[in-house]
Structure 1
Amino acid sequence: MLAQERPFDLSALNVRPASLQLVGPGGSWQVEHKVMQLLVVLAKAGGGAVGRDEIIDICWQGRVISEDALNRCVSRLRKALQPDPRLVVEAVPKVGYRLRVLETAPVRPAAEAGLPQGALRWLAAGVLLAICVAGGLAWMLRPPQAVTAVKSLQILTGEPLPTLRPALSPDGGTVVYSAGAETIDLYMRSTRDGAPVRLTDTPEMDEYSPAWSPKGDRLAYVVSHSSMDRPDAELRCRVMVMSVPGGRPREVGRCVTDAGTGLSWLDEKTLLYADREAPRTPRRIRAMDVDTGQTRDLSQPSEGLADQDPFVSPDGRRVLFRRIKSVGVDEMMIQEVDSGREWPLLSDGNAIHGMTWTRDGRQVVFSSNRGGDKGLWVIDVKSRAEPRRLSVGLMAFGRMSADDNDHIAVEIHNQRARIEAARAAGSEPVDPAEGMDADPDVARDGATAFVSSRSGTPELWMAPSGGRAVRLTRREGGSLYQPRWSPDGARIVFIAVERGASDLYEIGRDGSGLRRLTNNGTPKHSPAWGGDWTIRYVTTTPEGSRVMRVEANGSVRPEPGAGEWQVLRTAPDGRLYGWGRGDRRLWVMTPGGGKREAIPGFRMQDPYWVVGRNGVYFLSNAGRRAGLRFKPWVGEEQELRRLSNVSWTSDVSVDPRDDSFVYANNGEEVRDIAVVSLAR
């Protein structure tokens, strides 16, 4: 257990296993859990070789892993140790690995050494400081005005439950976050020391998205019912405010449909949040008076899917928010509060996972996949220069918030997911390798197409029945999602994002014949092959969603009579099923583009479902203790089994050979809160 390992020195580094930190002369940086385990194992060997089997026994508890998994872990350890060139991880042929500390460091130019960008900044900062002290140039110690690097990173939470959505108090002394398994509650803890204190404990309710008031004496948050099956809409999304510490929460308003909204204080009496004005309208940024409950719109999205995640600038004059253009495509928007004028700060076709202002409002720190991983970046608000990377790319960063002193509380993720099939004898992996896998689809012969980030960025992979997965695409950047097999299992259609444009692509099962099927760049999801070999998909705009069909000549036109479908699935017999926006009844497409209700009176709540030969398989309460349920075409609904750790960010499928349910299972997952100190 790393939590029980004491810190130790290694060459010029101080290794802190419990917090997953490496501290060097110029700063500190974070490593993944498995990487730290490997480092501790090699360091304890005192320069001796450690066998591969022994490493796997200790770091993976003896589980069967692929050769690539161990090689990736070694590669990441080497990258993490690059700031100290005296530390070398050597491969010992036919044995394993050893860690050597060289007496003298090899001389390498920084560019050849391939040092992580953040580590280069830390080393440069250390050298500069030494020069300033030696020369007595005190004026050089004055920090520049712009944020230039991450100075340190401290992990606050190391709890077994995932911790997320942090809110850092204005003075930086306290952080509030959400955590839980069956229900999600709010916890508060000091950023210096001490145990977390539970703030909320409401049965069957989830509390999340905390936000501190400007004075730091009140906390706003969102509460909703933990079960998606509840029909009473008034419990689905409520906004609460409590005094801190020890105040009694009171309801200040309600959300229409979006229980996952984020909050930000515009001033001491006004909250900003993302929600719909009414069902079936685009999500936008709204303002709520916490005394009267009255609301008004701030943003008016004319394009894209939704506006989300508002953050008010330190001076209260501007609002930063995320405009979701399509799946995996975001714009970072700024709006002036007084004039309502808005403009894009960043629009480069990448996803944005979290963002916040710096203390002076001159820059924005954000997490994005623009570099191939979910790293930290910074962008100047006025100059519009290209963003600069802050993190070394060894951890994935998510939502964040800032204080008044150049500190940021941020989610850090280290997650693995693999595709599994729920067979009669139990769940079994489709592919033995570990990765970040999602969106499975199974062909008639049992071959599984899926999306995986095991190579660093999302790519399309294919695992033949009983064989090892192979990589089919080499795009090396951008989002890729929802692969679907052709009726004969010879080709795969999928959606990929290229320079902010979402389009359909097609590829052979051997990776040959890649071609682009559409060229309009509009938001797309739910691609589906029909029994007539026509490819259809759903496009979503602020006005609504509709089914589009791709003609043989590459042109695209609306499906006649399909109506406003929101989700589309193909059944084993080639028929198309789906449901519409705001209507969870299941429909089947009829000849000529019409539709009829597939199972009269049947409704699903969660969007994790697939059509089998004899009925519909679907999940309830996905992501926690998911119940796998089955509704036959005729007969009573039944629960088949419980599935743990089902990924809520992935599609599901069914094996046409035996109707086995196929899904992404979140394996080892670390989801903690860290505090980052920024250097200027």
Structure 2
Amino acid sequence: MNEISTIRPRFGRIVLALEPSFDLSALKVRPASLQLVGPEGSWQVEHKVMQLLVVLAKAEGAAVGRDEIVDVCWDGRIISEDALNRCVSRLRKALQADPRLAVEAVPKIGYRLKILEEAGAVAPKTNPNTVTQKPARSRWPWLLAGAVAGVALIAGGVALYTRVQPRPVTAVQSWQIMTSEAEGTIRPALSPDGATLIYSRGRSSLDLYMRSTRDGAPVRLTSDSGDEYSPAWSPKGDRIAFVKSDETGAPCRIMVMTIPGGAAREAGRCVIDPGTSLSWLDERTLVYADRTAPRTIRRIRTMDIETGATADLSRPREGLADQDPQVSPDGRSVLFRRIKSVGVDELIIHDVRRNAERPLINDGDGVYGLAWTRDSRQVVFSSNRGGDPGLWVADVNRRRAPQRLSVGLMAFGRISADAGDQIAVEIHNQRSRLEIALPDGLRSVDPAEAMDTDPDVNVRGSTAFISNRSGSPELWVAPDGGKAVRLTHRGGGAMYDVRWSPDGRKIAFIAVDGRNTDIYEIGADGSGLRRRTSDGKAKANVVWGADGLIRYIHDAADGSHVMRVEADGSSRPEPGGEGWQVMRSSPDGRLYGWRREDRRLWVLTPGDPTPREAIAGFRMQDPYWVIGRDGVYFLANAGRQAGLRFRPWSGPERELRRLDNVAWTSDVAIDPRDDSFVYANTGGEVRDIGLFKLTR
């Protein structure tokens, strides 16, 4: 290794979950768990840092070019020089535990990993907390004896503290699939002793099932009409609470059932919301999420299951909702998710005794599930941090940044933990393709093994959509009958609400950058990308008006409102858009929408600030609809099988066809040339539950 080799080794795509562990000098490298293990312990590194380490290690001392690194670690995306430099700097920092390892820069080429041949070539680093002392003189034996006794006492205290306070969770040790059923399984609840799993399952409606985590067939617990979901075990593990909802959209009912074999009874009802999630504060008190009045922010509340009495726990002043509460095992804290905007979540910890809250994580990533570790010192959560889905762990005292527990190969949802080191997690099949519903069948827009969502079609038949086929959500365009091309290279963050301009030359979309949610505009050929808003506030339902200006809905604490983006980038309220929750535009640029408490379809005509009812008495339940030339196309009972229906401006409603496996997380569109309906087909989406064993 005295001469630098400039041979560029060729690598395929580095999939860390499939890379075997290997030794590197005094370190053990575990790519699948993003873990380095040395003589003094183990530590986590970031996903890109581990990819870089694996690439350099595979080169066996040869220099790896910068372009080669970008091809492998960033999938060839265009990145800044600073991004690569930061990754190299973090790798060097991660390898400091072994002084024989060095990441060297090779001028005009790239980098190589060098292992010094002699251990003595570099002096080992000294712990800055270590103090070197001279030997004690023999004439002070009593002082030496006292010191020995003191050390023994301290050692005993440290050992006792270690037994009381376990080491932090650092990785996933192993995992297994617990459910694999055609209907899909969601909302897991793991019993405190880890022996029993309760979850929801069903097609047309959800019922609760129970099974052992070791073996045995599932046992059905509920069979009533409506949906039963969000089970939560009591602290003693002898009861569950769960949520019951029906198809009318009425406030949900909160039920309690003794396990096993007890009858369910109603403990109370939500005030406004048709659904929620639960956790036990103590043996008599539940925490859940609900709104206390129309046009208010959803908050965390408590309910006495004996009296039905309720009270507010959180008092949000901003954001869209507080939800998904989880009580810590010691009962002192309630963790919940505060939704700032679509794809932007904060994790908040509420101190029960002090009645005060503080943010745990507020850097702008989406969070889908969360749970406490058994010592109440860490939080495990599923998130898209870093641009791809994965499991993460965060220290409650924020002593370090959140650490990744798994690589981003699977999409995770809700999480439940037992009193040990096991968690049950929803595992989602994140695949969908865009389909065009034609009179004689279906045609794919541009099939790929990816998650394609939020389509919109322009006047020339080109479909713009969001896809993760490059590894993170990006904007793509597929010409009519042609191959899709990528227009953006953001490398992470949520994107949604894709809309073509009326002339088909520009595309507007919403993207999340850190904690900010704004509207962007780009040309059909990928040129001219610019940010159209800069306030960072929550936004949804982007449309173009007849005047060529962009509109969107802003949902705030004082209610929602249609906003108009002026030419200078400022946003102003649209007259007549008060209280609108869902909005679409027609081919001629008129605005259609419904209000939160009124699902009638309203229309705003340019120049007239007074909305009028578009179709007398017509109401829709689901936000999967689009305006055509002659009426409204919409999906009824969106889900595994939905009915594509059409309601003309005058005349009776009719069903056009049945559509299987409709993705309920995606938008829908029509081709303005012939009103062909475009939607996302999950291809048989699968939702299973996995049991993960954590290691410390």
TM-score (structure 1 length as normaliser):
0.80
Q: Residue in 2 aligned with 1:35?
A: none
Is 1:83 the counterpart of 2:20 in the alignment? yes
* Structure 1 letter corresponding to 2:186: L
> Residue by residue, what CA displacement relative to the aligned partner does 1:299-331 show, whole Å, maximum 9, x if unpaired?
111000000000001111110000000000000
Task: Say whether 1:172 aligns with 2:187.
Answer: no
Determine if contact 1:83/1:119 at 8 Å carries over to the other structure. no
2:485 to 466, 470, 479: 470
Give the Cα separation in 2 of the matches to 1:641 and 1:429. Answer: 17
Residue 411 (1) aligns with residue 426 (2): yes
Q: Which secondary structure state, in structure 2, belongs to the residue aligned with residue 577 of structure 1?
A: strand
Structure 2 match to 1:38: none
Structure 1 residue 623, shift from structure 2 partner: 1.2
Residue 295 of structure 1 pairs with residue 310 of structure 2: yes
**2:221 aligned with 1:206, yes or no?**
no
Aligned equivalent of 1:224:
245
User: Cα 1:292–1:372, aligned 2, differ >3 Å: closer, same or farther?
Assistant: same
> What's the CA shift string for 1:234-277, capped at 9, x where partnerless?
xx511111100000001111123333311000111111111111
Deviations 1:600-626 (A, max 9, x none): 111111111110110001111111321
**For residue 470 of structure 2, what is the amino acid of its counterpart?**
S
CA distance in 2, matches of 1:120, 1:193: 34
Aligned to 2:345: 330
Amino acid corresponding to residue 446 of structure 1 in structure 2: G
1-side partners of 2:641 and 2:387: how far apart?
31
Find the counterpart in structure 2 of residue 364 from structure 1.
379
**Which letter maps to 2:172?**
V
The 1-side partners of 2:442 and 2:450 are apart by 17
Give the aligned partner of residue 151 of structure 1. 173
Residue 454 of structure 1: aligned partner: 469
Name 1:495's counterpart in structure 2: 510
Equivalents in 2 of 1:123, 1:623: separation in Å?
52
CA contact (8 A) 1:395 1:412 kept: yes
Equivalent of residue 580 in structure 2, options 548, 552, 565 = 565
Tell me the equivalent position of 2:112.
none
| Identity across matched positions, percent | 64
Partner of 1:349, secondary structure, is coil
Cα gap change, 1:115 to 1:465, in 2 (>3 Å)? same
1:259 match = 274
Point out the more displaced range, 113-122 or 515-524.
113-122
- What displacement does 1:440 show? 0.6
SS in 2 for 1:669: coil
- Give the C-alpha shift of residue 454 in structure 1: 1.3
Q: Where does residue 407 of structure 2 map in the other structure? A: 392
| Secondary structure of 2:387 counterpart | coil
Flag the 1:280–1:200 CA change in 2: closer, same or farther, 3 A. Answer: same
Contact 1:349/1:501, CA 8 A, preserved across alignment: yes
Amino acid at match of 1:213: S
Residue type of the alignment partner of 1:614: D
Match of 2:658 in 1: 642
Per-residue deviation, 1:453 = 1.1
**How has the CA–CA distance of structure 1 residues 327 and 294 changed in structure 2, closer, same or farther, with 3 Å as cutoff?**
same
Flag the 1:126–1:534 CA change in 2: closer, same or farther, 3 A: closer
Note if contact 1:577-1:586 (Cα within 8 Å) is conserved in structure 2: yes
Partner of 1:44: none
- Aligned equivalent of 2:539, options 499, 506, 524: 524
Q: Secondary structure at the match of 1:80?
A: helix
Distance 1:463 1:112 in 2: 45
Q: What's the offset of the Cα at 1:113? A: 8.5
TM-superposed CA distance for 1:594, in Å, is 2.8
Residues 25-46 of structure 1, C-alpha deviations (whole Å, 9 max, x = no match) = xxxxxxxxxxxxxxxxxxxxxx
Question: 1:630 corresponds to which residue?
Answer: 646
Aligned-partner Cα distance in 2 for 1:507–1:114: 41
**Deviation readout 1:478-497 (Å, 9 max, x if unpaired):** 11111100111011000001
Shift of 1:573: 1.8
Q: Secondary structure at the match of 1:560?
A: strand
**Offset of 1:564 from its aligned partner?**
1.8
Q: Which residue of 1 aligns with 2:559?
A: 544
Q: In the alignment, which residue of structure 2 is the partner of 1:181? A: 203
**Which whole-Å CA distance do the structure 1 matches of 2:408 and 2:257 have between them?**
37
- The answer to whether the Cα contact below 8 Å between 2:497 and 2:510 also exists between their aligned partners in 1 is yes
1:354 aligns with 2:394: no
SS of the residue corresponding to residue 683 of structure 2 reads strand
1:343 aligns with 2:358: yes
> Which deviates more, 616-625 or 304-313?
616-625
- Structure 2, unaligned runs of 5 or more: 1-10, 44-157
Give 1:278 shift: 2.3
Instruction: String of CA shifts for 1:465-523, please: whole Å, max 9, x gaps.
Output: 10111111000011111110011101100000111100010001111110011100010
Q: Which residue number corresponds to residue 20 of structure 1?
A: none
Classify 1:426/1:118 alpha carbon distance in 2 versus 1 (closer, same or farther; 3 Å): same
* One of 646, 653, 663 as aligned partner of 2:669: 653
Residues 187-222 of structure 1 show CA distances to partners (whole Å, capped at 9, x for unaligned) of: 11111111111111113x111000000110001101
Deviation at 1:652, TM superposition (A): 0.7
Residues 112/497 of structure 1: CA separation in 2 closer, same or farther (3 Å cut): farther
Q: Which amino acid in structure 2 is aligned with residue 528 of structure 1?
A: V
Q: Any conservation in 2 of the 1:220–1:240 contact (CA below 8 Å)?
A: yes
251-260 or 376-385, larger mean C-alpha shift: 251-260
1:614 equivalent in alignment to 2:616: no
Determine the C-alpha separation between the residues in 1 that align with 2:616 and 2:695. Answer: 61
> Which of 107, 115, 139 matches 2:31?
115
Which residue pairs with 1:191 in the alignment?
A: 213
Partner Cα distance (1:549, 1:123) in 2? 60
Q: Which runs of 4+ in 1 moved over 3 A?
A: 107-114, 116-127, 139-144
2: CA distance, partners of 1:414 / 1:394? 10
Cα separation, partners in 2 of 1:242 and 1:114, compared to 1, 3 Å: closer
Structure 1 residue 371, shift from structure 2 partner: 2.1
Question: How many residue pairs were aligned?
Answer: 568
Letter in 1 for 2:242: Y
Alignment-mate amino acid for residue 218 of structure 1: R
For 1:352 and 1:369, the matched residues in 2 are separated by 7
Distance (whole Å) between structure 2 residues aligned to residue 625 and residue 455 of structure 1: 29
Three-state SS of the structure 2 residue aligned to 1:415 is coil
Kept after mapping to 1: 8 A contact 2:540/2:552 = yes
Distance in 1, Cα, partners of 2:26 & 2:459: 52
Q: Separation in 1 of the partners of 2:411 and 2:564?
A: 37
CA RMSD of aligned residues (A): 2.4
* Structure 2 letter corresponding to 1:184: L
Aligned to 1:449, the other structure's residue is in SS state strand
8 Å CA contact 2:473, 2:492 repeated in 1 = yes
| Cα distance between partner residues in 1 of 2:382 and 2:252 | 27
Cα distance between partner residues in 1 of 2:307 and 2:619: 36
Larger Cα-atom Rg: 2
> 2-side partners of 1:583 and 1:512: how far apart?
40
Aligned-pair CA distance for 1:336: 1.1
SS in 1 for 2:419: coil
Which amino acid is the alignment partner of residue 579 of structure 1? W
What is the DSSP-based 3-state SS (H/G/I as helix, E as strand, rest coil) of the residue aligned with 1:178? strand
Give the match's secondary structure for 2:541. strand
- 2:208 is matched by which residue type in structure 1? L
Change (3 A) 1:152 1:124: farther
